[in-house]
Amino acid sequence: MPSFNFSKFLPLFDFSPQVPLVHRDLSWLQFNERVLSEAQKSSNPLLERVKFLAISASNLDEFFAIRVSALEKSIVKAQRRLDWTKTRRLTETRQQLLKGIKRFGDNQKQVLHTLVEELAHHSVFLHLNVERKRPEAQLAREVFEQQIAPYIPAPERFDSKALNTLQSLQTAIILPGGFWLKIPRNLPLIFGHSSQRGSRWDYFFLDHLLALFLGPPQDTGWSTGLVRVTRDGDYEYDLADTHLQEIPDLVRSRVGNRERGKPIRLQWEGNTSSAQLEEAARILGLSPEQVFKAPGSLFLHSLWQLYFSIPPVVNKAHLKTPAPQPKIPKALKQSESVFTVLQKKDLLLHHPYDSFDALVKFIEGASQDPSVLSIEQTIYRMDSVSPLLQHLKTAARSKKVTVVIELRARFDEWNNLNIAEELKKAGVKVFYGFGKLKLHAKVTLVTRKESGQIRYYTHLSTGNYHSATARSYTDLALLTAQEDIGLDARHFFDSVYEGHVPSTFRKMVVAPTRLDKKIHALIAQETEAARMGKSARIFAKVNALVDEETIAALYRASQAGVKVDLVVRGACSLVPGLKGISDNIRVVSILDHYLEHSRIYYFESSHRLYLSSADWMPRNFLRRLEIAFPILDERLYSFLRDVVLPAYLNDTVQGQELTASGVWKPRSSKKNEKPFRSQLFFQELAEKAYRETSLE
């Protein structure tokens, strides 16, 4: 599948001759193309390919709701300021983006049909556009009559203005004769049926069944049309002047507003006439470029259900990557308490290879230990059935437990509201958010009294306290009893409780006050070291790199001779390999079975290595409360520097490298060199209890 070549677009984003930048949204579309390419790779297990197709669709839904809507607002803002140069540049970006998304939809449809054919060879039948005379039509009718028809409302007279009543990502079906009905949002989007012996699986998309059984007979030549509206979901709001008790109601109202935001995309499926689409676009205030034909179904994102519903029976095991068997670190399996272990050494957890149960064990131990005075934790995203919740509630019976929960975590607002209420009922003290700043830092602090002295035990992580994503996201976490880290965590929580942006830390670095400045200072130190002829190197692993000032600093470092290695999963505005600008910069991206989510910053001459919750983006530097925490234990430092960093850079199976022309190319093994896959390597390391490494 071809990728965007950004070389012809670079003049659009060359704000100065020394700082060429690719627009973040065009780079993101490249990222989603890489996701879709995983659905095409025959080397991936078949159901894993189905999963990647689903991810590419759900990614696009969120991209329209957040990024495309933000781009529209930027164009309007530039117009109001009479900044015609910026208006032209952003408008051209928008045109290229929407054109690329239409092509992307064609690729999704092609991939879908390929997967349908290959699934059928394994007795998994995903039926597309069923005809009433086909054998599967009887099964389709049974599914429709039993699982769909009882929940469908009566049709209403269609008035195109009524399209404005559709909520975001809600679907409606337009029927012949001037009728329509809105599809209930609680209906499944894909329906599965298995034979009694589980030897055959049949699946149907909801939109296909609706078109088949709500429309007129197929031999009349008439058909039905379905439409789906995406609305602006990019809402930021300040909690600073809101009373603590009123915050949940404010968040509820804002989430409700998101469902009724400005239309940003119209998708359609079926035999909807061009006149109907033009009228629908006019009513919704959309341009023709914002109207998209569905890539085979409106509900490709629901293929997750197909992925999860087929059981891992022996004869189907080759269709899925085997479920991981994460281990609890050996040090935590010993009879001594977790606190005794941490008094001797820091522990590094590499999820999902190391079990999330290690953190659960830490919180459980704190909840049961009579010497523990308090437990404090931030929550950005947490599953509602997390074992951590029960341990926090248990702890609240005998000690002080405080949680700072960010209710504005996008698309997790309702879940976080429910968790907050559940914790409050159990006696946990709950704080919400932090003014304009989203609290994105992941930190837990346990305060313990030992021999009359206060001692702090801290857990810091690059990822959320979410037991489900801890099995599918790669993240790094630190468990430590180091005093400076504990005192920093103490200062962090105290500042948040008082409504102040925390500052003046011993070891940790926090956004928005210091993180970007610290990163730029460390880049400058490497730059100066290179100019003095010293060995200088920068490594950063982030989900996105789009901050212009940071990119400019990396270009200067490259020009001074600093070796810069970047592992960027998603959008990357930096262009590597440009002569005289970025010759010494390499950009690698890894997409694999697990979502790469850890953030690592390494600066060789400064001997600094940080793990963090923050990407190198303006929002993380300026609009979020983030933490970067240093690795002070030399054992852990050596492991990350000598084992983890090289593994990512040497991945020749799932790694791709960004070229100077803006094209991503697969990385391949050299002649006589064994292919290397970083995630498999990390899994094997954990299974061997990190033998022959500094973590042994």
Catalytic residue flag (residue 391)? no
Element (H, E) at 669: none
- Give the CA angle between residues 551, 554, 559 to the nearest 5°: 130
Run of H or E including 401: strand 400-405
Q: 299-335 burial, b for 16+ CB within 10 Å, e for fewer? A: bbbbbbbbbeebeeeeebeebbbeebebbbbebbeee
Q: What is the three-class DSSP state of 474?
A: strand
What is d(CA 564, CA 455) in angstroms, rounded to the nearest whole number?
39
Tell me whether strands 443-450 and 453-461 are parallel, antiparallel or unpaired. antiparallel
Q: Which residues contact 165 (CB under 8 A, 6 or more apart)?
A: 182
Residue whose C-alpha is closest to residue 598's, from 610, 588, 612: 612
Decide: 348 and 695 in contact? Cβ < 8 Å: yes
CA 467 – CA 419 distance, rounded (Å): 14
Strand order in the sheet with 124-127: 124-127, 201-205, 190-194
Of the listed 301, 351, 440, 593, which one is catalytic? 440
For residue 377, give both structure tokens: 């934790």
Residues in the chain: 696
What kind and span of H or E run contains 510? strand 509-511
Using CA atoms, how far apart are residues 365 and 643, in angstroms rounded to an integer? 31
What is the secondary structure of 596-636 as a DSSP string? E--EEEEETTTTEEEEES--BSHHHHHSEEEEEEE---HHH
What the block records as the tokens of 352 is 């999902």
Cα angle for residues 384, 390, 392 (degrees, 5° grid): 105
Three-state DSSP state, 341: helix
CB 301 within 8 A of CB 57: yes
> Are 269 and 299 a contacting pair, CB within 8 Å?
no
Supply angle C-alpha 59, 61, 64, rounded to 5.
105
Q: In 254-383, which ranges are E strands?
A: 263-270, 291-293, 347-351, 372-379
* Tokens (6 digits) for 468: 């489900």
Q: Are 170 and 183 in contact (CB under 8 A)?
A: yes
Report the distance separating Cα 268 and Cα 277, nearest Å.
8
Contact status, residue 189 vs residue 209, Cβ threshold 8 Å? no
DSSP letter string over 418-458? HHHHHHHHTT-EEEE-BTTBEE---EEEEEEEETTEEEEEE
> Token pair 């970067």 is at which residue?
628
617 CB neighbour count, 10 Å cutoff: 21
Partner residues linked to 226 by β-bridges: 173, 269
Q: Which residues are catalytic?
A: 440
